Amino acid sequence: MELLATTNRGLETVAIAEIKRLTGAEATVHHPGMVRFSAGVSAVYRLNARARSLHRVLIELTRGAVGDLTEIYQATRESDVGWVLPSDQPFAVRAQRRGDQSFGSPEVASTVGQAIVDSYAEPPPVELDEPAVVVRALVRGETLVLAVDTTGQSLHRRWYRAVEHDAALRPTVAHAMVCLAKGGDDSNLAGRLLDPMCGCGTIPIEAALATNDIAPSTEYEPALTSLRPFAATRYQTHVHDQSQQRAVTPEQIVGRDREREWVQGARENAAAAGVTGAVSFAVGDATVQPVTADLIVVDLPFGVRTDSRPDQLYEPFFDALGDDWDRLVVLTTREELVPYDPTETLELRRGRLNASVLVVT
Ligand SMILES: C[S@@+](CC[C@H](N)C(=O)[O-])C[C@H]1O[C@@H](n2cnc3c(N)ncnc32)[C@H](O)[C@@H]1O
């Protein structure tokens, strides 16, 4: 079947590599923030249970050219929703429209919803606020894509955020940065990894979770358990599979921050994530402390929600960094202040700002 997966805009290449690693499928970019690939039912279980860079996994129901709402209705009626959406599960349609069509997203949603209801002798109930199943209707130009969401709550919401930093990094972005530091592989940690400005520890914790092969969302039941082709027990098998687990010592993954409060928060988050023994945190000023690590992964302050001004911080930080490391992965909103030529750059958003992940080797 055809599957779609969403990710943070800018992380498409990382998502494609992860899909390949976890399922063997070759994905391609559908549009920024979404990739597409062919795979079977077991890939849906596996990605929902194990993917660290994806937000949602969707089963494509139909795809075709449409010019107006009547054609959207027809295309929905001709698609086979019944094999995946059972008639006893409350559902909603969420629509997204890009282009200069004469209709809006709410009309797309209600047209598709009506067509789905009309497809059943005993239709599933419509539930707009807390649906068990969400059907996504994407209209981009003249193309309609209908897809069923197998995930529900986005996979970027990890369970370990006991303490939330003022400028917390999205775990999917943190994970992608760790992958880039490891040359694209998210499992094997070749060398010591340091985040010298770790805040509440998102980067070191994601590094420890991936290395320990702990599933990103252990306490959550995805939407797929409400869909016809899937069973909760098979999903749980994938969640508890730790066949790729590797031993890691707390000296291997280190987080530091100038602020004691955040270091304490990082320790609490690591405990909530179950990786206390795989990561260590300390108070330290990155503009003076020497770096003893092979992989430096850092989400630099951007001066909006923190009191650190990039123009005053970057120079002493990069001076103190020296050159005794193998790979540096930096997330920054001030690329022009980074004194290296990156070998790879990913463009994304950090809050409301444009940001870049720079890989330096
Ligand atoms: C963008 S935040 C990091 C957020 C973190 N990635 C998270 O998800 O929680 C940047 C952090 O850099 C820290 N920081 C600023 N200047 C520093 C310095 N000179 N040395 C160490 N940490 C510093 C701040 O205290 C802040 O926690």
Query: pLDDT at position 244, please?
Result: 66
- Mutate which of 258, 260, 263, 307 to test ligand 1's pocket (most atoms within 8 Å of Cβ)? 258
166 CA distance to ligand 1 centroid (A)? Answer: 10
Low-confidence ranges of the chain (pLDDT < 70): 184-190, 218, 243-247, 250, 304-308
257 CA distance to ligand 1 centroid (A)? Answer: 6
Ligand 1 environment, Cβ below 6 A: 165, 167-169, 196-200, 202-203, 257-259, 262, 285-287, 299, 301, 306, 308, 313
Query: pLDDT at position 284, please?
Result: 95
Ligand 1 atom closest to the CA of 195, numbered from 1? 6
Query: pLDDT at position 177, please?
Result: 96
**Each residue's pLDDT tens digit, 247-298:** 677 688 999 999 999 999 999 999 999 899 899 999 999 999 888 899 999 9
Report the C-alpha gap between 242 and 150 in whole angstroms: 22
Query: pLDDT at position 306, please?
Result: 52
Query: pLDDT at position 187, please?
Result: 57
Q: Going from the N-terminus, what domains does the chain have, and what CATH number goes with each?
A: 2-149 (3.30.2130.30), 171-214+243-360 (3.40.50.150)
Nearest to 241 by CA among 56, 46, 44, 55: 46
Q: How far from 337 is each of 73, 85, 218, 331, CA to CA, in Å?
A: 52, 51, 39, 12
Answer whether 20's CB lies under 8 Å from 357's CB: no
> Starting from the edge strand earliest in sequence, which strands make up the sheet with 344-350, in order?
280-283, 253-257, 193-195, 295-299, 327-332, 353-360, 344-350
Query: pLDDT at position 231, please?
Result: 85
Q: State the CB neighbour count (10 A cutoff) for residue 346.
A: 23
224 CA distance to ligand 1 centroid (A)? Answer: 37
3-state DSSP call for residue 189? coil
Cβ neighbours of residue 23 closer than 8 Å, sequence gap 6 or more: 37, 39, 42, 43, 46, 47
Q: Which residues pair with 170 in a beta bridge?
A: none
Cβ neighbours of residue 233 closer than 8 Å, sequence gap 6 or more: none
- Mutate which of 8, 175, 257, 357 to test ligand 1's pocket (most atoms within 8 Å of Cβ)? 257
Report the C-alpha gap between 54 and 19 in whole angstroms: 9
3-state DSSP call for residue 193? strand
- Mutate which of 177, 193, 198 to test ligand 1's pocket (most atoms within 8 Å of Cβ)? 198
Answer whether 329's CB lies under 8 Å from 177's CB: yes
- Mutate which of 8, 203, 205, 308 to test ligand 1's pocket (most atoms within 8 Å of Cβ)? 308
Torsion angle in degrees (nearest 10) through CA of 299, 301, 304, 306: 110
For residue 195, give both structure tokens.
């985040």
303 CA distance to ligand 1 centroid (A)? Answer: 10
**Each residue's pLDDT tens digit, 214-248:** 888 767 789 999 999 898 888 888 888 776 666 67
286 CA distance to ligand 1 centroid (A)? Answer: 9
3-state DSSP call for residue 132? coil
Q: State the CB neighbour count (10 A cutoff) for residue 122.
A: 6
Q: How far from 199 is each of 175, 240, 282, CA to CA, in Å?
A: 15, 29, 11
Query: pLDDT at position 82, please?
Result: 93
